[in-house]
């Protein structure tokens, strides 16, 4: 099919699509129940006491967290707090974790977490780290998969809406970030109507230390003021490149639903980051002032925050060969690279076909200068020269594509609420299955890597109308587990998710199951406020600050009686959990604390701050049912009037 024909077909369909998008697109239209077949139950049944085959990491969207599920059972195993304070675990409430949520805007207790990305070695998930982006106040977090804990959060300078992130390169050389919302860079006070003159986009490459995982902003690329939406890195032959979708190449600054849907094609930006490395090494990047926070947790489990002050910015004009635009219909969203690294698949929200670009053809087109003009110094490659093919009549509203490693691609269709399976050989649709409803992302374990593990695809659905018992005005988002081992896809299971699951990642359980940390060695506890035994516990006054160095072990605190605190004091409970047994955290809470509990892992120290506001004797207790005498795990703290003669004392052995 010629590009011209495909274009006119698109033009016809687009008006209808915009109308459909504005309405109640695809939701609960009663397209018939999805009935799982009779053997579905046995395929997802994991007998009590047995483990699942896969760990799946789902983003929590506007919950700001990551949730861990077992597949195929769909059992929720854990919620890992990342960008949002989590009172269940004291995350962002304890003194040791608060600095993790620091930003150049101050302490921010929430973000919108979209795309988990497993670290990769040679293009295969290696089970070391999980990265995830914060969309609102641009940040990228790194989680350690042996502890299932957030270890680092890096704010992205010059950013706004960090959506195309963190999408790692083949050996986790970089995690990327891009501005979904172009903004004046550096920020300045200008009329919004000067968008075209004053607003720019930024692509950011964050280097990841091979051994420690430590992130730092390596360089940024200043781009035309479009909206950069999603990304994936090249792999195999296309290693060295990263691809970013853009929309609003119209550069509208108002009513984008119409004004940014004018152009027939927007762009996939192909960025040759290996070229950028050379340009940066040759001193072609400009050092610009920028203020952004870098937060990390040290070996002692204590978070630190530093404010960084500059970034290296590369202008496209100073680095020829750095970026090319691949014309792509129409307001593309996802961009996904197949396991061989040859095909670059974009999901045009308003497109009627799925365009598949060829990396080989792209290189040839660059070589032979098959350009269709340029935008702000970036050559636009001719569509016909780079396109490998178009998937015809795929459905409505293609968003994201994953791969099974068997030569097939699976694309989510938001508007027509379905997953479409098509062949990478001839780009023909071979199967489709309805999902309930309005699917965003989809995920095959390893499905964006060089070696998909296959077996299942999970539909990550936005709307669940009529699928679950109703729960007031809002219903849980949902995931649907679909078997992809046969010729026909088969729905196996629905399970509700926490927050909005945008993207997800999964890997075989064996990769990380045996690496799980069970306890922290008490002998290695390096928290300056930790103690290693009950003998070391004590209370200490330092002006108006009262420090209680306390231990917890089944089933008591030491000390458990403290007197001599007075109104006006700030009390720090430094609680060390002396247990050296797996799965025995202790909790800690005190009456009237304007704070959360602490949940202290074996061998760890956590500190909660308490400012008493009245005289009396107040209980504290363990919040995590730890033993037969858990209910006895309690104590008292006495608060006297300001200026009392009562000395600070406790019943600790010292």
Q: List residues near ligand CUA by CB under 6 A.
A: 552, 586, 622, 624-626, 630, 633
| Residue 586, binding choice from ligand CUA, ligand RUQ, none, Cβ under 5 to 8 Å by partner class | ligand CUA
Instruction: Name the burial class of residue 309, with classes exposed (0-12), middle (13-18) and buried (19+) by CB atoms within 10 angstroms of its CB.
Output: exposed
Which partner in ligand CUA, ligand RUQ, none is near 163 (CB below 5 to 8 A by kind)?
ligand RUQ
Strands, DSSP E only, in 25-114? 54-59, 66-71, 75-80, 102-103, 106-107
**Residue 222 CB, nearest distance to ligand CUA (Å)?**
54
* Binding at 624: pick from ligand RUQ, ligand CUA, none (beta carbon under 5-8 Å per type): ligand CUA
- From the list ligand RUQ, ligand CUA, none, which binds 625 (C-beta under 5 to 8 Å, kind-based)? ligand CUA
Compare residues 117 and 511 and give the one whose CB is closer to ligand RUQ: 117
302 binds, among ligand RUQ, ligand CUA, none (CB under 5 to 8 A by kind): none
Would you say 214 or 630 has its CB closer to ligand CUA?
630
From the list ligand CUA, ligand RUQ, none, which binds 114 (C-beta under 5 to 8 Å, kind-based)?
Answer: ligand RUQ
Nearest residue (CB) to ligand RUQ, 356 versus 460? 460
- Find the shortest distance in angstroms from Cβ 591 to ligand CUA: 17
Q: Which is nearer to ligand RUQ, 504 or 626 (CB)?
A: 504
CA torsion through residues 181, 184, 190, 191, sign: negative
Q: Name which of 197 and 581 has its Cβ closer to ligand CUA.
A: 581
Nearer to ligand CUA, 281 or 628 (CB): 628
Q: Are 365 and 412 in contact (CB under 8 A)?
A: no
Q: How far is the CB of 75 from ligand CUA (least distance, A)?
A: 25
Secondary structure string (H, E, C) spanning 109-163 = CCCCECCCEEEEECCEEEEEEEEEEECCCCEEEEEECCCCEEEEEEECCCCCCEC
By CB atoms closer than 10 A (0-12, 13-18, 19+), residue 22 is exposed
Exposed, middle or buried, 322 (CB in 10 Å: 0-12/13-18/19+)? buried
Pick what 441 binds: ligand CUA, ligand RUQ, none; C-beta below 5 to 8 Å, kind-dependent. Answer: ligand RUQ
Strand, coil or helix: 237? helix
Cα–Cα distances (Å) from 565 to 467, 529, 545, 568, 616, in that order, read 55, 19, 9, 9, 10
Nearer to ligand RUQ, 219 or 410 (CB): 410
Alpha helices in 327-485 (DSSP H): 359-367, 383-386
644 vs 273: CA distance, rounded Å: 66
Q: Check whether the bond before 299 is cis (ω within 30° of 0).
A: no
Residue number, nearest CB to ligand RUQ: 440
Q: Which helix (H) or strand (E) element contains residue 409?
A: strand 408-413
User: What gap in Å lies between CA 315 and CA 348, rounded to an integer?
Assistant: 28
Smallest distance, ligand RUQ to C-beta of residue 248, A: 16
Name which of ligand RUQ, ligand CUA, none residue 382 binds, using a CB cut-off of 5 to 8 Å depending on partner kind.
none
Q: Taking CB within 5 to 8 Å according to partner kind, which of ligand CUA, ligand RUQ, none is near residue 440?
A: ligand RUQ
Minimum CB distance to ligand RUQ, residue 478 (Å): 13
**Least distance in angstroms from the C-beta of 590 to ligand CUA:** 14
Pairing of strands 561-566, 634-640: parallel
In whole angstroms, how close is the CB of 334 to ligand RUQ at the nearest point?
6
Distance in angstroms (rounded) separating the CA atoms of residues 246 and 375 = 13
CB 617 within 8 A of CB 636: yes
DSSP 396: S
Give the gyration radius of the chain's Cα atoms: 27
Separation in Å, CA 403 to CA 339, 400, 431, 485:
7, 10, 14, 13
Query: Which residues sit at the interface with ligand RUQ, rule CB under 6 A?
Result: 114-115, 163, 333, 399-400, 440-441, 502
Give whichever of 172 and 551 is closer to ligand CUA, judged by the CB atom: 551
Given the complex with ligand CUA, which of 130 and 633 has the nearer CB atom? 633
Least Å distance, CB 159 to ligand RUQ, is 15
Strands of the 323-328 sheet, one edge to the other: 227-233, 241-247, 266-272, 323-328, 378-381, 371-375
Shortest separation between residue 163's beta carbon and ligand RUQ, angstroms: 6
Closest distance between ligand RUQ and the C-beta of residue 440, in Å? 3
502's contact among ligand CUA, ligand RUQ, none, with CB below 5 to 8 A by partner kind, is ligand RUQ
Nearer to ligand RUQ, 167 or 588 (CB): 167
Residue 606: partners with Cβ closer than 8 Å, 6 or more residues away: 90, 94, 95, 96, 97, 574, 575, 588, 598, 599, 600
In the numeric block, which tokens belong to residue 455? 């077996």
Least distance CB 399 / ligand RUQ (angstroms): 5
3 state SS of 494: strand
Using DSSP's 3-state secondary structure scheme, residue 19 falls into helix
Q: Quick one: 124 or 168, whose CB is closer to ligand RUQ?
A: 168
From the list ligand RUQ, ligand CUA, none, pick the one residue 208 interacts with, judged by a Cβ distance below 5 to 8 Å according to partner type: none
575 binds, among ligand CUA, ligand RUQ, none (CB under 5 to 8 A by kind): none
Least spacing, CB of residue 568 vs ligand CUA, in Å: 31
Please tell me the number of Cα atoms within 13 Å of 167 on its side-chain side.
28
Nearer to ligand RUQ, 115 or 574 (CB): 115
333 contact choice in ligand RUQ, ligand CUA, none (CB below 5 to 8 Å, kind-dependent)? ligand RUQ
**Residue closer to ligand RUQ, measured from CB, 98 or 163:** 163
Cβ 630 to ligand CUA shortest distance, Å: 4
């Amino acid at each position: 099919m010629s590009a011209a024909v495909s274009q006119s077909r698109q033009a016809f369909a687009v008006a209808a699509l915009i109308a459909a998008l504005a309405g109640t697109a695809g939701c609960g239209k009663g397209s018939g129940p999805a009935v799982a077949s009779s053997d579905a139950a046995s395929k997802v049944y994991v007998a009590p006491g047995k483990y699942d085959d896969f760990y799946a990491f789902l983003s929590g969207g506007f919950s700001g967290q990551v949730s861990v599920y077992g597949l195929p059972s769909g059992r929720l195993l854990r919620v890992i707090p990342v960008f949002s304070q989590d009172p269940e675990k004291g995350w962002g409430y304890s003194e040791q974790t608060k600095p993790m949520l620091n930003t150049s805007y101050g302490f921010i207790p929430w973000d919108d977490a979209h795309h988990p990305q497993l670290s990769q070695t040679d293009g295969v998930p290696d089970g070391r780290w999980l990265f995830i982006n914060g969309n609102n106040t641009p940040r990228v977090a790194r989680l350690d998969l042996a502890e299932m804990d957030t270890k680092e959060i890096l704010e992205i300078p010059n950013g706004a809406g960090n959506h195309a992130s963190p999408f790692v390169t083949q050996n986790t050389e970089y995690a990327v970030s891009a501005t979904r919302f172009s903004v004046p860079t550096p920020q300045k006070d200008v009329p919004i109507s000067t968008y075209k003159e004053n607003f720019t986009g930024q692509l950011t490459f964050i280097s990841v230390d091979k051994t420690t995982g430590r992130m730092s902003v390596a360089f940024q690329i200043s781009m035309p003021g479009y909206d950069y939406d999603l990304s994936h890195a090249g792999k195999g032959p296309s290693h060295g490149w990263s691809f970013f979708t853009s929309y609003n190449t119209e550069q509208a600054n108002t009513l984008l639903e119409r004004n940014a849907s004018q152009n027939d094609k927007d762009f996939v930006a192909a960025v040759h980051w290996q070229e950028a490395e050379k340009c940066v090494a040759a001193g072609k990047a400009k050092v610009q002032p920028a203020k952004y926070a870098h937060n990390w947790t040290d070996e002692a489990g204590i978070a630190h925050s530093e404010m960084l002050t500059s970034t290296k910015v590369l202008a496209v004009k100073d680095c020829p060969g750095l970026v090319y635009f691949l014309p792509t219909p129409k307001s593309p969203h996802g961009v996904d690279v197949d396991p061989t690294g040859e095909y670059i698949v974009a999901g045009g929200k308003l497109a009627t076909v799925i365009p598949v670009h060829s990396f080989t053809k792209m290189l040839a087109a660059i070589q032979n200068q098959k350009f269709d003009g340029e935008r702000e110094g970036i050559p636009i490659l001719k569509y016909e020269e780079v396109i490998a093919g178009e998937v015809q009549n795929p459905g409505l509203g293609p968003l994201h594509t994953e791969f099974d490693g068997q030569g097939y691609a699976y694309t989510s269709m938001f508007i027509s609420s379905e997953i479409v399976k098509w062949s990478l050989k001839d780009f023909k649709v071979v199967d489709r299955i309805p999902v309930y409803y309005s699917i965003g992302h989809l995920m095959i374990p390893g499905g964006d890597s060089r070696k998909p593990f296959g077996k299942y695809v999970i539909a990550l659905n936005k709307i669940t109308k009529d699928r679950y018992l109703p729960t007031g005005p809002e219903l849980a988002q949902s995931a649907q587990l679909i078997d992809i081992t046969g010729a026909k896809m088969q729905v196996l299971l629905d399970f509700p998710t926490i927050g909005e699951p945008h993207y997800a990642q999964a890997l075989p359980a064996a990769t990380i199951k045996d690496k799980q940390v069970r306890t922290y060695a008490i002998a290695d506890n390096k928290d300056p406020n930790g103690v290693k035994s009950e003998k070391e516990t004590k209370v200490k006054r330092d002006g108006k600050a009262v420090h209680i160095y306390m231990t917890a072990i089944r089933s008591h605190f030491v000390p458990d009686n403290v007197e001599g605190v007075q109104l006006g004091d700030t009390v720090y409970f430094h609680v060390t959990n002396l247990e050296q047994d797996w799965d025995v955290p202790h909790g800690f809470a005190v009456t009237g604390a304007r704070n959360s509990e602490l949940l202290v892992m074996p061998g760890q120290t956590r500190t909660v701050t308490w400012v008493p506001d009245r005289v009396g004797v107040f209980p504290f207790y363990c919040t995590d049912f730890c033993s037969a005498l858990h209910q006895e795990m309690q104590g008292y703290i006495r608060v006297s009037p300001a200026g009392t003669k009562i000395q600070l004392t406790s019943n600790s052995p010292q």
